[in-house]
Amino acid sequence: MTQFTEREFAAVLHGPRDVRLEEVDRPRPGPGQVLVQIERVGLCGTDLNYYVDGHNGPTVLNAPTVLGHEASGIVVGVGEGTPPKLLGRQVALEPATSCGVCLICRSGRSNLCPSGYCLGSPPTNGALREHVVIEHRLAHPLPERLNPEEGVLIEPLAVGCWAVHRARVATGHRVLVTGAGPIGLLTAKAALAAGALEVTVADVHPQRLELARRLHPGPVVDLNTDELPGASIDRMLECSGAASALEAVESLKPGGVIALVGVPQRWPAAPLGYVQRWEVDLVGCFRYGPAAFRSAIGWSGTGRVRLSGLVTARFSLAHTGQAIETALTDRTQLKVVVQPNAA
């Protein structure tokens, strides 16, 4: 008997600023996998880098690729050996996976696996399409209180949760978050959920500062005009990637911690003398470790972290190019999402 392959649409990046809506085969779930109908895809700096430059750091776009790794959706199919109770569940996708057997994975640092891959990073296709197949363990069921628009923020919130873990944010700490983009504001929320006494958000862009004042309950600092008090902060979470942001290191107390969350665009002129003299710990953060998704879902599911208001623009799959251009150029927008299955 002939089996007919179902077809659907995907937004495919062929090269810099060349994204096309194309008809592709609908994937089928294999053993241990689920088929997810994608409801929302959030656009991230990684997607923007591939779109503008054709690469993100050392990873190069060598073939047409479907972008998108921040995604939520509904499980509409299960493969052999997959729990049938997942059918119909709203899920957030954990896009990065690892081999699970190398020494790095076995040491608990699976996010650093040299054999790992991530949805939407070449050569792996991502979620800017109508359906995605993924291992069922990476499709995280969401609490009923969360809608698809909040669900799409679980992945970037997990980045913030991991940063908070790496920086060892604890009850009573005063925290500085530099960069008031989506990752910065979500990281600020994670720091508050972890028990921080006060979280200050700092930026230089007027539109970002205005969004931060509206969405963040704590102090917001304009680094163009305001100075940070010296030696007053326990933890600094750098989310902007701007080289100049590390000048704020001198606001850290002796023995403080700075976590690099944003991807640095160039080697910063950091005040390393201060780091050395006052034993400031400098730690890197790459994606998230195993517990970060659980924290993100748990905190948002109980209301400890509130995700409403962060999505500010919505586009259909057919208008993915316009969505990416908006995310690139319009600083009045915070999180831009694509709705692949919108009517």
147 and 174 in a single domain? The answer is no
pLDDT at site 1 = 44
Note whether 276 and 237 are same-domain residues. Answer: yes
Q: Please, are residues 40 and 151 in contact by the beta-carbon 8 Å criterion?
A: yes
For residue 17, being part of any structural domain is answered with yes
Q: What is the CATH number of the domain that holds 26?
A: 3.90.180.10
Q: pTM surpassing 0.85? A: yes
178 and 244 inside one domain: yes
Query: Looking at the domain assignment, is residue 86 inside a domain?
Result: yes
Residue 52 included in any domain: yes
Q: What is the pLDDT of residues 34-81, one digit of tens each?
A: 999 999 999 999 999 999 999 998 899 999 999 999 999 999 999 999
244 within a domain of the structure (yes/no): yes
Whole-number Å distance between alpha carbons of 321 and 339: 13
Residues 149 and 11 in one domain: yes
74-114 pLDDT per residue, tens: 999 999 999 999 999 999 999 999 999 999 999 999 999 99
> Could you tell me if 14 and 101 lie in one domain?
yes
Q: CB-side exposure of 156: number of CA atoms within 13 Å? A: 32
Q: Which one, of 36, 66, 42, 339, lies nearest residue 186 by Cα?
A: 42
Name the 3-class secondary structure at 87.
coil
Instruction: Give the domain extent around 167.
Output: 158-284
**Domain annotation covers residue 301:** no
Number of domains in the chain: 2
- d(CA 340, CA 317) in angstroms, rounded, equals 5
| pLDDT tens figures, 168-183 | 999 999 999 999 999 9
CA 326, CA 343: separation in Å to the nearest integer? Answer: 21
Asked if residue 143 and residue 115 are part of one domain, the reply reads: yes
Same domain, 185 and 206: yes
Q: Is residue 293 one of the residues assigned to a domain?
A: no
Residues 187 and 139 placed together within one structural domain of the fold = no
Half-sphere exposure of 103 (CA within 13 A, CB side): 0
Q: pLDDT tens, 245-292?
A: 988 999 999 999 999 999 887 776 778 899 999 999 999 999 999 899
- Residue 227 belongs to a domain with what CATH number? 3.40.50.720
